[in-house]
A = this chain, B = another copy of it.
Amino acid sequence: MPTTTAAQRREQARVKYDAFIRSCPTNQLLDRLSDKWVSLVVAALSTGPMRYSDLSRRLAGVSPKMLTQTLRSLQRDGILTRTVTPSVPVRVDYELTELGASLALLMTAVKAWAETHIEEVHEARDRYDAETENAGAENAGAGSQK
Complex copy number for this chain:
2
Distance between Cα atoms of A146 and B40 in the complex (Å) = 19
Query: What are the interface flags for A99-119 relative to B under an 8 Å C-beta threshold, 1 for contact and 0 otherwise?
Result: 100110011011101110110
A114 touches B61 (CB 8 A): no
In the complex formed, the residue of B with least CB distance to A98 is B120
Residue A83 is within 8 A (CB to CB) of chain B in the complex: no
Q: Secondary structure at chain A's binding surface: helix, strand, loop or mixed?
A: helix
Stretch at the interface among A21-29, A45-53, A84-92: A21-29
Residues in chain A within 8 A of chain B (CB atoms): 10-11, 13-18, 21, 25-31, 33-34, 36, 39-40, 59-63, 75-78, 99, 102-103, 106-107, 109-111, 113-115, 117-118, 120-121, 123-125, 127-129, 146
